[in-house]
Amino acid sequence: MPRHWHQWALVIAAFAAVTLMLVLPLVLIFAQAFSQGATMVLRNLTSADMISAIKLTLLVALITVPVNLVFGVLLAWCVTRYEFRGRKLLITLIDIPFAMSPVVAGLCYLVVYGTQGVVGQWLDGLGVQLMFALPGIVMVTVFVTCPYVARVLIPLMESQGQDEEEAAVLLGASGWQTFWYVTLPKIRWALLYGVVLTNARAVGEFGAVSVVSGLIRGDTLTLPLLVQMLNEDYNTVGAFTAAGLLAAMALLTLLLKTVLEWRQRGKLNVAQGETA
Amino acid sequence: MSIRVDDIRKTFGAFTALDDISLNVPHGELVGLLGPSGSGKTTLLRIIAGLEKPDHGQVFFQDRDVTTLDVRRRKVGFVFQQYALFRHLTVADNVAFGLRMLPRGERPGRDRIRARVRELLELVQMDTMAGRYPAQLSGGQKQRVALARALALEPEVLLLDEPFGALDAKVRKELRRWLRHLHEQISVTSIFVTHDQEEAMEVSDQVVVMSQGHIEQIGTPLQVYEQPASRFVFDFLGHINALEGHYDGQTWRAGEAFLRLDTEGACPDGALTLYLRPHEAALSKSPSEVARLPVTLAGRSVFGGTVTVELEPAEWGEGMLEVELDRDSWRQLDAQRDDTLYILPRLLQTVTCDGELGPRVRPA
């Protein structure tokens, strides 16, 4: 507990800052959305564009998350279980999506897979269109979110070592049994945490998606893109309703993340408490 | 099941961990691989288990070549230094793991598994802890669970990698007695790795002394102690005092100190190093006719029935010397700090100029 007046002052200042910078804008999103009554919100929510954007956003997340879940686990397994040339380089390469601006990532995909691009031209000849369509949106979202699961797992798996896996194999477990019964239980909370982060980013991604989406209403607009579109159309209630949806998803994510962390810590405390 | 290792080589980059090793372990024996860290003993154990692949050479179980056989099909019991228990499973589930991983056709029923787990936990005296998680156990308890888990599939080969290395001295002693006892109960060929001389001597039927990827000597604990095959073995098995001086065919001298020795012509004239084990000498307040090794009493420590006396050579040789006496002899000696005493060696090991072991000699 703070004891002196200047300690109290600091605490109050921190709360004030958080309220002004974080809580107030968040509250205002919902206030703006409901500024003309719940019926307007409902009408906006049921508009064709909104429903299409919600569906698209969820579909993108639904594809992206499993892809990166598998990719992240395989990558973490690979760099923590094997020694090979270029291992360090691979670990560095995973971070490229973190380091690179999403807009640049979107442009890179456009250059390669757009109809003017090397691969894009060839695919166009075969009648396959990637850019300005769902595949392109999924591709850049996968790119932008690919480090999350791997980044959470690598330090954990490195610190856990592989004694338990060796013990399992010595007891006759197959590779799949070892993963399912030994490795997965050891990393499950971290894995869920990685999935939550991946999902949050996949739902909220704007920069990379805006480059490759083509902004076709009712077709290639995700929720974050729709927010901007509606805002430019001076449809304040619509824009803030979409924004409110995104904010609600973010809050849900935060709640999940907190529960996961709390759960992990709780388990640890139980184990230690009973030893003592 | 006997274990035979033939001409095994293993390198990690430029480092040679095992340099053409051959070893034979008869059925039902308990063999200790003893050596300092980096001697290759753990690598050899992991190759026998199938966790590492040798660069060349073969491993046989009985007459069957298992060199290329997959780890999971070798069916060896393995115990890790850090236990490697499955942290998310209870003690009972840890022990049952191997049975549950069996293919459907071979897997015993639920009741059979439960009965087998109970039987194993009783064997390692952990039956009251079946529901606990590894994090709730002490080190010694964890290692007993790990042993029960390794025995669940009734392996004919049991491999233990520094099984007591992470435990404190008292628990370690208790557990190794218990392991010796257990080994007599169940007929399994066992190899365990250790860097602790005392542990190897107490537990093993045979000791394999290793250094730098080579086997220095194989023998019973008594053999390797009393007839060490090399200077390394002599050095490694317990503390020794090295006395450096010159020998003229009758007398060994170093400054003021001398010893009359008959080496029966085995040691040529010239530089001669003598190894003296701390318990193979007495202390006296006066020199004898055949031995004059003056030292100053620098300190002593009492542990059990033995008094270890720390001695500083008086103007000959360098470093501290150590002599072990029983309590009665120490009391009779009645010496104080800084007193001058004389070491009377009973048995000495000669080291020839090429660094190998010469004959063992008595002052005469």
Residues of A in contact with B153 (CB under 8 A): 171-172
Q: CATH code at A199?
A: 1.10.3720.10
Minimal CA–CA distance to B194: which of B232, B233, B164?
A: B164
Strand-pair category, B157-161 with B76-79:
parallel
The residues, ordered by sequence, that sit 6+ positions from B84 with a Cβ below 8 Å of its Cβ are: A163, A164, A166, A167, B146
Lookup result for tokens 């998606």: A209
Nearest CA in chain A to B133: A271
Say if the Cβ atoms of B72 and A170 lie within 8 Å.
yes
CB pairs below 8 Å between A and B: how many? Answer: 66
Asked if A187 reaches chain B (Cβ–Cβ under 8 Å), the answer is no
Q: Smallest Cβ distance to B153: which of A166, A171, A186?
A: A171
Average pLDDT over residues B59-82: 93
Q: Smallest Cβ distance to A182: which of B86, B136, B153?
A: B86
Q: How far apart are the CA of B135 and the nearest CA of chain A, in angstroms?
A: 6
Q: What is the pLDDT of residues A62-114, one digit of tens each?
A: 999 999 999 999 999 999 988 889 999 999 999 999 999 999 999 999 999 98
Nearest CA in chain B to A178: B101
- Taking CB atoms within 8 Å and a gap of at least 24, the contacts of A269-275 are A271/B133, A271/B135, A271/B136, A272/B135, A274/B136, A275/B135, A275/B136, A275/B137
Strand-pair category, B348-351 with B270-276:
antiparallel
Residue B206 · residue B218 · CB < 8 Å:
yes
A19 within a domain of the structure (yes/no): no
pLDDT of residue B355: 74
Q: What tokens does B4 get?
A: 């035979």
Average pLDDT over residues B12-25: 93
pLDDT: is A265 or B67 the higher one?
B67
State the Cα–Cα distance between residues A232 and A221, nearest whole angstrom: 14
The percent of chain A in helix, strand and coil, each rounded to the nearest 5, is 80, 0, 20
State the Cα–Cα distance between residues B98 and B119, nearest whole angstrom: 15
The residues, ordered by sequence, that sit 6+ positions from B244 with a Cβ below 8 Å of its Cβ are: B254, B271, B273, B317
Residue B158 · residue B105 · CB < 8 Å:
no
Percentage of the residues of chain A whose pLDDT score is greater than 90: 64
Write the Ramachandran bin of A79: left for phi over 0, alpha for psi from -120 to 50, otherwise beta.
alpha
Question: Which residues are registered as beta bridge partners of B289?
Answer: none
Structural domains of chain B in order of their starting residue, each with its CATH number: 3-233 (3.40.50.300), 241-361 (2.40.50.140)
Q: How confident is the model at residue A61 (pLDDT cuts 50, 70, 90)?
A: very high
Q: In chain A, how many domains are there?
A: 1
pLDDT of residue B296: 92
Residue A50 CB-density burial (10 A; 0-12 exposed, 13-18 middle, 19+ buried): buried
Residue range(s) defining the domain that contains residue A42: 34-275
β-sheet with B281-284: strand ranges across = B281-284, B340-345, B294-303, B306-313, B321-326
State the Cα–Cα distance between residues A56 and A202, nearest whole angstrom: 11
Q: What is the pLDDT of residues A216-264, one digit of tens each?
A: 888 899 999 999 999 999 988 899 999 999 999 888 888 988 887 787 6
pLDDT: is A178 or B231 the higher one?
A178
A15 within a domain of the structure (yes/no): no
State the Cα–Cα distance between residues A179 and A168, nearest whole angstrom: 9
A12 within a domain of the structure (yes/no): no
Max intra-chain CA distance, chain A: 74
pLDDT of residue A275: 42
Task: Provide the residue count of chain A.
Answer: 276
Residue A26 has pLDDT above 70, yes or no: yes
Task: Kindly list the distances between the CA atom of residue B347 and the CA atoms of A59, B201, B231, B277, in Å, as whole numbers in the listed order.
Answer: 86, 21, 16, 8
Q: What are phi and psi of B81, to 5 degrees?
A: -60, -40
Q: What is the pLDDT of residues B152-191, one digit of tens each?
A: 999 989 999 999 888 888 888 888 888 888 888 888 999 9
Average pLDDT over residues B282-307: 90
State the Cα–Cα distance between residues B142 and B135, nearest whole angstrom: 9
Say if the Cβ atoms of B135 and A173 lie within 8 Å.
no
Residue A149 · residue A187 · CB < 8 Å:
no
Residue B198 has pLDDT above 90, yes or no: no
Residue B351 · residue B331 · CB < 8 Å:
no
Say if the Cβ atoms of B87 and A275 lie within 8 Å.
no
> Taking the alpha carbons of A105, A109, A110, A112 in that order, is the dihedral positive or negative?
positive
Q: What are phi and psi of B257, to 5 degrees?
A: -85, 150
Residue type, B216: E
pLDDT of residue A268: 53
Residue A20 has pLDDT above 80, yes or no: yes
pLDDT of residue B269: 72
Q: Dihedral through CA B323, CA B328, CA B333, CA B334, nearest 10?
A: 120
- Terminal C-alpha separation, chain A: 28
pLDDT of residue A264: 67
Q: What is the pLDDT of residues A165-209, one digit of tens each?
A: 999 999 999 999 999 999 999 998 889 889 999 999 999 999 999
Say if the Cβ atoms of A172 and B86 lie within 8 Å.
no
Which of B131-135, B204-208, B358-362 is predicted with the least confidence, judged by mean pLDDT?
B358-362
A26 within a domain of the structure (yes/no): no
State the Cα–Cα distance between residues B256 and B293, nearest whole angstrom: 8
pLDDT of residue B271: 84
Nearest CA in chain B to A268: B135
Q: What tokens does A24 get?
A: 């107030």
A7 within a domain of the structure (yes/no): no
Residue to test with chain A: of B12, B52, B87, most A Cβ within 10 A: B87
Helix orientation angle between A184-204 and A147-160, rounded to the nearest 10 degrees: 160
Q: What tokens does A261 get?
A: 């962390």
Residue A273 has pLDDT above 50, yes or no: no
Residue to test with chain A: of B88, B90, B94, most A Cβ within 10 A: B88
State the Cα–Cα distance between residues B41 and B57, nearest whole angstrom: 16
Asked if A46 reaches chain B (Cβ–Cβ under 8 Å), the answer is no
Question: Which residues are registered as beta bridge partners of B76?
Answer: B157
Residue B305 has pLDDT above 80, yes or no: yes
Chain B residue set in contact with A, beta carbons under 8 Å: 49, 51, 71-73, 75-78, 80, 82, 84-88, 97-98, 101-102, 133, 135-137, 149-150, 152-153
Say if the Cβ atoms of A166 and B84 lie within 8 Å.
yes
Q: What is the pLDDT of residues B317-356, one digit of tens each?
A: 788 899 999 999 999 988 888 899 999 999 888 887 777 7
Verdict on whether the full-model pTM lies above 0.90? no
Residue A50 · residue A241 · CB < 8 Å:
yes
Helix (H) or strand (E) holding B43: helix B41-49
Q: What tokens does B57 get?
A: 């050479």
β-sheet with B15-25: strand ranges across = B15-25, B3-12, B56-61, B64-65
Q: How confident is the model at residue A274 (pLDDT cuts 50, 70, 90)?
A: very low
